């Protein structure tokens, strides 16, 4: 029996875990029986970690300690525009970390984003373990194609923290195409249109003979279902403000209820033309008086109006990606829809009009990515080498050069793995060091791109400018993770880095968090065991208590009887002490001992008292 491996779609809104079972990719249900696990984590008042549905359910009453949509923050810098925008709409506490990374404050402790993602991954891992009845240690985890190096690294870190060996970070659209192509003899160009909770991407692949070659990919990591929800929220807030002069956004509890109602209305409007929004007791007038309720009717048409520009943006990106790959919409054999938002009729209509064909409904938009990840995980451990994936790098990579410019070494949409070297010269006289600043992005200007990392090559020979030559090599592995090295051509001296984004975790931090996670899981397991043993002992004690008077009456006068009773009383006193101390090993020992006493009591009643 080969080991069990899983594929995980770590989504903005929901996550899914899948495996290949009996040759078929299959979704693993979570322990509440659902295929989707909300990517929501919270810390309860008693300090317990809550993940998934249970965390989502308490979000309304505990908005500041419930973290959702954290995929929008992972691997980003706190000072980035995207994070600053997110802070405005997310009700939980987002704080800066030590190296401009993002932290989330819950129950008085700051959590790094990979830690938050790890809580979701650990839950899915546990679900898979419950399904197999065995430990699961290896996984393929998917990320949006547009994720940059930092976001990929952070996701990989999350896997490590959750106790998973991440076999591969796989692009979501590639995973979707894999699931689509599984067991079918597909050849030709296909597009994957993925509109999820937080991100949008579109990818064109050439599929044939078990080769999946990405031709082009593009997207927006800040365009997804949450934005559609936000438009409905704004509409409700505006109407309420007009009517009552109150800004509901200032009230976090109200905001959370609005968000919930907005998403619910949006989803309903995929099936019906009109929906009623009811939020009783949403506010009170500033000067006191009767509570205010929010009641509104939202039509599908109004929703489409409120979100028309969002739909247009997805199609504009399709146009750019196709034109870059020099492909016309009609050249595509199939368009695969991925992500919950592709259930919205207007989104499907836009895709149909643009690509001039009916998009593929053969695959489940919520599950297809996890299924593809499972297929890939299976291929990697089985070492069958059956499927060849050729991904591309989603953004251009380069170095900063004199004058504040950026010099591109690897243009975007280059097939990975890849390696590029270029020779650079010193730009000043007697320059003995050179700083290599690694940039990601499309701008000619260095500061407009993202700085992924930097290092210094020292010990250059003093010489007129331009004389000393340095080889700079960029290498991207199959997962899209970048290593950069620089070499002095004269001395052969080298410096290199695997680029860990400056917004990520350091090795030390990662190790500390992994230790903490192990302790937490150990403790959680211990506390489950403790609870179970306590329950066992309490049940035994109750039964003994009930039988005690009868045993006493039956055995009165016999020496054997008084011996049994004295021993039982001592055992009861020990058991109460163990429960009070709440010590697992004492409670377990006591449960064993009292179990034997209970059996003895039953025997006495049966044989003598019968
Ligand atoms: P995903 O990240 O793929 O799980 O997509 C989740 C997003 O899809 C969320 O914004 C959901 O509100 C949205 N969604 C799920 N079901 C529907 C539906 N039937 N109609 C419209 N949006 C939906």
365 CA → ligand 1 middle, Å: 9
Do the domains spanning 5-224+310-391 and 395-505 agree at the CATH topology level? Answer: no
Q: How confident is the model at residue 388 (pLDDT cuts 50, 70, 90)?
A: confident
pLDDT for res 554: 85
Ligand 1 neighbourhood includes 344 CB (under 6 angstroms)? yes
Q: Which of 56, 65, 71, 450 is catalytic?
A: 71
Q: What is the pLDDT of residues 327-355, one digit of tens each?
A: 999 999 999 999 999 999 999 999 999 99
Ligand 1 neighbourhood includes 339 CB (under 6 angstroms)? yes
Ligand 1 neighbourhood includes 13 CB (under 6 angstroms)? yes
The residues that bridge with 5 in the sheet, in sequence order, are 138
Q: Are 82 and 72 contacting, i.e. CB atoms less than 8 angstroms apart? A: yes
Pick the CATH number of 5-224+310-391 from 3.30.465.10, 3.30.420.40, 3.30.70.890, 3.40.640.10: 3.30.420.40
pLDDT for res 176: 93
Name the pTM for this structure: 0.75
**Which fold, 395-505?**
Substrate Binding Domain Of DNAk; Chain A, domain 1 (2.60.34)
Ligand 1 neighbourhood includes 144 CB (under 6 angstroms)? no
Residue 366: pLDDT over 70: yes
Q: Are 531 and 591 contacting, i.e. CB atoms less than 8 angstroms apart? A: no
DSSP string, 22-82: TTEEEEPP-TTS-S-EE--EEE-TTS-EEETHHHHHTTTT-GGGEE--GGGTTT-BTTSHH
Q: What is the pLDDT of residues 126-177, one digit of tens each?
A: 999 999 988 999 999 999 888 888 888 899 999 999 999 999 999 899 999 9
50 CA → ligand 1 middle, Å: 22
Q: Are 77 and 87 contacting, i.e. CB atoms less than 8 angstroms apart? A: no
Q: Which of 65, 157, 194, 586 is catalytic?
A: 194
How would you classify residue 100: left for phi > 0, otherwise alpha for psi between -120 and 50, otherwise beta?
left
Question: How are strands ordered across the β-sheet holding 188-195?
Answer: 334-338, 188-195, 200-208, 211-220, 388-390
Q: What is the pLDDT of residues 15-29, one digit of tens each?
A: 999 999 988 999 999
**Strands 405-410, 5-10: pairing kind:** unpaired
- CATH of span 225-308: 3.90.640.10
Peptide bond before residue 417 is cis, with ω within 30 degrees of 0: yes
Residue 45: pLDDT over 60: yes
Residue 562: pLDDT over 90: no
Among protein residues, the one whose CA lies closest to atom 8 of ligand 1: 340
Q: Are 146 and 219 contacting, i.e. CB atoms less than 8 angstroms apart? A: yes
Among protein residues, the one whose CA lies closest to atom 7 of ligand 1: 197
Q: Is 519 a catalytic residue?
A: no
For ligand 1, what atom is nearest to the CA of residue 226? Answer: 10
- Per-domain residue ranges of the chain: 5-224+310-391, 225-308, 395-505, 508-609
Q: Is 538 a catalytic residue?
A: no
Ligand 1 neighbourhood includes 262 CB (under 6 angstroms)? no
């Amino acid at each position: 029996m080969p080991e069990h491996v899983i594929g995980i779609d770590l989504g903005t809104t929901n996550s899914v875990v899948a495996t290949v079972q009996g040759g078929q990719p299959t979704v693993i249900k979570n322990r509440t029986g659902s295929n989707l696990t909300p990517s929501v984590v919270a810390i309860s008042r008693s300090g317990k970690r809550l993940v998934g549905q249970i965390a989502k359910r308490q979000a309304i009453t505990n908005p500041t300690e419930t973290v959702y949509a954290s995929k929008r923050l992972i691997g980003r810098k706190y000072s980035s525009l995207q994070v600053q925008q997110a802070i405005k709409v997310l009700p939980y506490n987002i704080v800066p970390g030590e190296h401009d990374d993002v932290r989330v404050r819950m129950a008085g402790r700051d959590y790094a984003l990979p830690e938050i993602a790890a809580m979701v991954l650990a839950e899915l891992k546990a679900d898979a373990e419950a399904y197999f009845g065995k430990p699961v240690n290896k996984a393929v985890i998917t990320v949006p194609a547009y994720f940059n190096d930092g976001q990929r690294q952070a996701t990989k870190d999350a896997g490590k923290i959750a106790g998973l060996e991440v076999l591969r970070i796989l692009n979501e659209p590639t995973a979707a195409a894999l699931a689509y192509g599984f067991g079918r003899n597909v050849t030709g160009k296909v597009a994957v249109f993925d509109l999820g909770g937080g991100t949008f991407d579109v990818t064109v692949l050439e599929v044939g003979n078990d080769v999946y070659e990405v031709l082009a990919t593009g997207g927006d990591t800040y365009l997804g279902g949450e934005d559609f929800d936000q438009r409905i929220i704004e509409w409700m807030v505006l109407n309420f403000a007009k009517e009552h002069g109150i800004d509901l956004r200032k009230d976090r509890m109200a905001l959370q209820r609005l968000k919930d109602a907005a998403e619910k209305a949006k989803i309903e409007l995929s099936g019906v033309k009109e929906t009623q929004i009811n939020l009783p007791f949403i506010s009170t007038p500033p000067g006191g008086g009767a509570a205010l309720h929010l009641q509104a009717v939202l039509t599908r048409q109004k929703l489409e109006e409120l979100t028309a520009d969002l739909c247009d943006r997805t199609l504009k990106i399709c146009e750019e990606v196709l034109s870059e790959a020099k492909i016309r919409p009609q050249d595509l054999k199939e368009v695969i829809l991925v992500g919950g938002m592709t259930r919205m009729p207007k989104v499907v209509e836009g895709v149909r009009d643009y690509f001039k064909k009916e998009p593929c409904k053969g695959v489940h938009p919520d599950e297809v990515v996890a299924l593809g990840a499972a297929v890939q995980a299976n291929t990697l451990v089985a070492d069958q080498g059956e499927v060849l994936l050729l991904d591309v790098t989603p953004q251009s990579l380069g170095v900063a050069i004199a004058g504040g410019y950026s010099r591109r070494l690897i243009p975007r949409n280059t097939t990975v793995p890849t390696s590029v070297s270029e020779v650079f010269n010193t730009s000043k006289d007697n320059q003995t060091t050179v700083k290599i600043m690694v940039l990601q992005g499309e701008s000619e200007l260095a500061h407009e791109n993202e700085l992924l990392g930097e290092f210094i090559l020292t010990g250059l020979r003093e010489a007129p400018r331009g004389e000393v030559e340095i080889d700079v090599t960029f290498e991207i592995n199959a997962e899209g993770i970048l290593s950069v090295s620089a070499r002095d051509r004269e001395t052969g001296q080298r410096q290199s880095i695997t680029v860990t984004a400056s917004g990520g975790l350091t090795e030390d931090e990662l190790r500390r968090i992994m230790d903490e996670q192990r302790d937490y899981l150990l403790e959680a397991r211990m506390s489950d065991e403790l609870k179970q043993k306590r329950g066992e002992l309490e049940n035994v004690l109750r039964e003994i208590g009930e039988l005690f008077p009868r045993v006493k009456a039956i055995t009165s006068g016999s020496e054997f009887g008084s011996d049994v009773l004295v021993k039982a009383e001592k055992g009861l006193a020990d058991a109460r002490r163990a429960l009070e101390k709440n010590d697992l090993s004492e409670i377990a020992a006591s449960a064993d001992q009292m179990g034997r006493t209970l059996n003895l009591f039953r025997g006495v009643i049966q044989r003598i008292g019968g």
